Amino acid sequence: MSNLLPGENLVIKAHPHWIVLIKSVWIPIVAVVLVVIADFTILLDNYNSWGLPPRFRTFFTLGVVAIAGLWLIVVWIRWQSTAYTLTDQRIKIETGVFGRQEKIIPIDRVQDCTTKMSLLGRMLGYGRVGSPDEIKVAKEMIAAMIWSPLRPSSDDQLLPMRKLEASKDLLKIQSDAKLSDEERKTQSAAVQAQLVKIDAMEKKAATDPFQKRLAAFVEADKAGKQDDLKRMIAEFAAANARTN
């Protein structure tokens, strides 16, 4: 990470675990194996009886191998283009091959981190940060939290974090095998009531003109429109300077 802030120290920079590659390349590998087997069994035994064109076996096999090779190259490039950088101040996630997209999250905004590793994951050194449901909830909240430093100071800044924490509590309650059905139902109802209240507060906060600006920031960030982001930041700074 070449653009470190003053006093910032790099902890680690890495790509996703290589097991991600295995999960993505098994289809072309299986396809090549099946074609090779068919080439020396079915096609070889029935080549003349089926009236296939000359050298069909060769071109068919080479075609499948070429497609599989292209598949592997694309998977490799996508894997190489995804990078996770951790410093003592920030978390940076970089994705994209032709259009690069960056997500930067200050360390002090990370309140909790749940990791899960299967037996195979412990043996090979990989795992998942959060459950699939937790990841889904976090993705829904992360956009609002990223741009919250530009939000005028108010209690509305805490709503995404409160919703995220409540959603995580609900997931933990629903997956807690130690709770009885009645206890799970009661505790889930209490957390769901909190979520309903937070949703109502978010709808009320949505009438704030800042929310439209925030939505524009998020959409520009998702699309990787750096020029639009710079323009909106400049407009925000100018408006804030006039206010002060």
Which CATH number is 182's domain given?
A: 1.20.58.90
Of 105 and 86, which is predicted with more confidence?
86
**Does a structural domain hold residue 85?**
no
**Does a structural domain hold residue 104?**
no
pLDDT tens digit sequence for 123-169: 888 877 765 665 665 555 555 554 454 454 455 666 777 777 888 78
Indicate if 127 and 185 belong to the same structural domain: yes
Task: Report which of 80, 99, 97, 83 is spatially closest to residue 1, judged by C-alpha positions.
Answer: 83
Residues 6 or more apart in contact with residue 134 via CB below 8 angstroms: 114, 167, 168, 171
Indicate if 122 and 176 belong to the same structural domain: yes
Q: How many domains does the chain have?
A: 2
Task: Report which of 33, 35, 16 is spatially closest to residue 24, judged by C-alpha positions.
Answer: 16
Among 23-27, 44-48, 232-236, name the most confident range.
23-27
Partnered with residue 14 across adjacent β-strands are 84
Answer yes or no: pTM beyond 0.85: no
**Does a structural domain hold residue 203?**
yes
Give me the torsion for CA of 113, 118, 120, 125, rounded to 10°: 10
pLDDT tens digit sequence for 88-115: 888 888 888 777 778 787 777 666 666 7
**Does a structural domain hold residue 200?**
yes
**118, two tokens:** 């299967």
Indicate if 127 and 203 belong to the same structural domain: yes
**Does a structural domain hold residue 4?**
no
Indicate if 200 and 152 belong to the same structural domain: yes
Indicate if 118 and 188 belong to the same structural domain: yes
Indicate if 72 and 125 belong to the same structural domain: no
Q: pLDDT at residue 81 above 80?
A: yes
Decide if 179 contacts 173 (C-beta within 8 A): yes
In this predicted structure, what is the pLDDT of residue 110?
66
pLDDT tens digit sequence for 19-43: 888 888 888 888 888 888 877 777 6
Indicate if 130 and 46 belong to the same structural domain: no
Q: pLDDT at residue 119 above 70?
A: yes
Containing structural domain, residue 178:
114-207
**Does a structural domain hold residue 181?**
yes
**Does a structural domain hold residue 52?**
yes
**Does a structural domain hold residue 10?**
no
Task: Please state, for a pLDDT cut of 70, what percent of the chain lies above it.
Answer: 70
Of 177 and 152, which is predicted with more confidence?
177
Angstrom distance (rounded) from CA 137 to CA 133: 6
Indicate if 188 and 121 belong to the same structural domain: yes
Three-class secondary structure assignment of the chain: CCCCCCCCCEEEEECCCCHHHHHHHHHHHHHHHHHHHHHCCHHHHHCCCCCCCCCHHHHHHHHHHHHHHHHHHHHHHHHHHCEEEEECCEEEEEECCCCCEEEEEEHHHCCCCCEECCHHHHHHCCCEECCHHHHHHHHHHHHHHHCHHHCCCCHHHHHHHHHHHHHHHHHHHHHCCCCCHHHHHHHHHHHHHHHHHHHHHHHHHCCCHHHHHHHHHHHHHHHCCHHHHHHHHHHHHHHHHHHC
